[in-house]
């Protein structure tokens, strides 16, 4: 089976690294994504200031609540700008690509319906019904589906009748994961942007996956453009409409791209890349059920809230999540080989984390609880007395 991407040949000599051949391979593999990425970025950058003005005139604002971190009204409608950027890139460069009509119809429907939630609010059961309905449409009408699973130790070659429920759970779960992640300025856009790049790399150097490369690039461009206005201090929020659109886009890109590659372990790539927010979502569900609360009950005990309590800034937390997403995504990509260059990327990201966050935590007055700390301390003190 051909390699999934050939940015680097592990068998090549050191002289070939960053050689003319290497640069040619990079250009060849990434070329389908360049113009969709730039187009999506440009549209979001151009549209977002207009949406900020429109939101202020219409009173489409997020007013601070007791559990919110922001202290002043912030315009919504960021989700509209992100969908517009993605749609324009698709219509101009990917009009006839497989899966694009479904992506645009489902993405537009998600953005439009969830705008109602941003404006007047939806009861949790109604919102869940909307999510499930859109996911069912994705499977039954547009043909998106996960047909096998390989998440050790679970290995199912043909899901058969379970394609519908498994795919619906994947899509709904991804939407809620990104929505719960959207608790700090720039956090959701940062994580989704890195995940899109991981999906882009996972789909390169395959003749039948060039459209996935371009779609992933467009999604990364959308996130990059929005971050110019959403990075702390944010001038606009994506709202539920934007978070659900991003979650839907990641879920469907994984289904039409990585999840259909003839490598059973390929589904590990998006799962590993988003392992941190997925785990945080799972813990939030368990925590709320143990407290007798609805799983839709909002709280301030998410991982990013805890990091704020430890003294990290919103920008540092975004950096932490983005680096972790890159590290875990690179680990997922190693299933396709090319471990050396990915190992270098992982080490560099770890260096960034340890340098920036280590200094911040060292200066924090808060202390991270260590399991069995009191027991260890008593044992050490007892040994010292002897």
Taking 50 as the threshold, does the pLDDT of residue 57 lie above it?
yes
pTM of structure? 0.83
Read off the pLDDT of residues 310-332 as tens digits, 9 standing for 90 and up. 778 888 889 889 988 888 888 87
Contact (Cβ atoms closer than 8 angstroms) between residue 76 and residue 118: yes
- Are 291 and 299 a contacting pair, CB within 8 Å? no
- Would you state the pLDDT for residue 380? 56
| Rounded alpha-carbon distances, angstroms, from residue 160 to 78, 140, 157, 258, 375 | 39, 14, 9, 19, 52
State the pLDDT at residue 191.
94
| Helix/strand/coil for 71 | coil
Q: Is 41 domain-assigned? A: yes
Q: Is the pLDDT higher at 298 or at 35?
A: 35
What pLDDT is stored for residue 342 in this prediction?
65
pLDDT of residue 357: 63
- Mean pLDDT to the nearest integer, 339-343: 63
User: In the prediction, which pLDDT does 63 show?
Assistant: 84
Q: In which band, very low, low, confident or very high, does the pLDDT at 15 lie, cut at 50, 70 and 90?
A: very low
The 10s digit of each residue's pLDDT in 200-222 is 888 876 667 888 899 999 999 99
Between CA 349 and CA 148 the distance in angstroms is 32
**What are 305's two structure tokens?**
């809230």
pLDDT of residue 192: 96
- Of the candidates 210, 233, 234, 178, the one whose C-alpha atom is nearest the C-alpha of residue 96 is 210
Domains in the chain, number: 1
Residue at 340 is within a domain: no
**Domain membership flag for residue 121:** yes
What confidence tens digit (pLDDT) does each residue in 106-153 have? 999 999 999 999 888 888 899 999 999 999 999 999 999 888 776 666
Residue % of the chain over a pLDDT of 90: 38
Contacts of 31 (CB under 8 A, 6+ apart): none
Among 194, 251, 252, which Cα is nearest to 223's? 194
Q: Give the three-class secondary structure for 366.
A: coil
User: In the prediction, which pLDDT does 14 show?
Assistant: 44
Inside any domain, residue 2: no
DSSP category for residue 149: E
Average pLDDT, the chain: 81
pLDDT of residue 68 exceeding 50, the answer is yes
Residue-level pLDDT at 206? 66
103 within a domain of the structure (yes/no): yes
> What digits encode the pLDDT tens for the residues 260-308?
554 445 567 788 888 888 888 888 888 878 887 777 777 777 888 788 8
What tens digit of pLDDT does each residue of 81-104 get?
Answer: 999 999 999 999 998 888 899 999
373 is a domain residue: no
Highest mean predicted confidence (pLDDT) among 161-165, 203-207, 382-386: 161-165
Q: What residues make up the domain containing 81? A: 14-301
267 Rama sector, left if φ>0, alpha if ψ -120 to 50, beta otherwise: alpha
């Amino acid at each position: 089976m051909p390699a999934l991407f050939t940015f680097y040949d592990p068998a090549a000599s050191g002289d070939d690294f960053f050689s003319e051949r290497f640069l040619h391979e990079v250009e060849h593999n990434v070329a389908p994504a360049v113009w969709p990425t730039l187009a999506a970025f440009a549209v979001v950058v151009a549209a977002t200031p207009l949406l900020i003005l429109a939101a202020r005139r219409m009173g489409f604002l997020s007013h601070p609540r007791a559990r919110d971190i922001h202290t002043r009204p912030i315009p919504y409608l960021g989700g509209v700008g992100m969908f517009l950027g993605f749609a324009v890139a698709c219509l101009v460069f990917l009009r006839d690509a497989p899966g694009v009509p479904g992506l645009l119809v489902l993405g537009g429907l998600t953005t439009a319906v969830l705008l109602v939630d941003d404006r007047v609010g939806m009861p949790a059961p109604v919102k869940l019904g909307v999510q499930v309905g859109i996911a069912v449409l994705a499977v039954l009408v547009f043909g998106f589906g996960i047909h096998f699973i390989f998440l050790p130790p679970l290995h199912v070659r043909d899901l058969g009748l379970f394609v519908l429920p498994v795919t619906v759970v994947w899509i709904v779960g991804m939407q809620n994961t990104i929505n719960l992640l959207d608790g700090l300025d720039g956090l959701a856009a940062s994580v989704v942007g890195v995940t899109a790049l991981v999906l882009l790399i996972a789909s390169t150097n395959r003749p039948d996956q060039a459209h996935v490369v371009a779609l992933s690039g467009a999604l990364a461009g959308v996130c990059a453009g929005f971050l110019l206005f959403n990075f702390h201090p944010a001038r606009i929020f994506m709202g539920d409409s934007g978070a659900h659109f991003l979650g839907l886009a990641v879920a469907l890109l994984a289904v039409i791209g990585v999840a259909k590659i003839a490598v059973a372990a390929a589904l590990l790539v998006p799962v590993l890349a988003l392992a941190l927010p997925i785990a945080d979502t799972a813990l939030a569900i368990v925590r709320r059920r143990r407290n007798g609360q609805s799983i839709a009950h909002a709280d301030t005990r998410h991982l990013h809230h805890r990091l704020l309590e430890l003294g990290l800034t919103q920008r540092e937390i975004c950096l932490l999540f983005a680096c972790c997403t890159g590290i875990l995504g690179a680990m997922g990509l190693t299933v396709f080989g090319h471990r050396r260059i990915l190992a270098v990327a992982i080490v560099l990201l770890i260096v960034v984390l340890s340098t920036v966050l280590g200094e911040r935590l060292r200066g924090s007055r808060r202390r991270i609880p260590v399991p069995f700390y009191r027991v260890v301390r008593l044992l050490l003190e007892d040994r010292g007395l002897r």
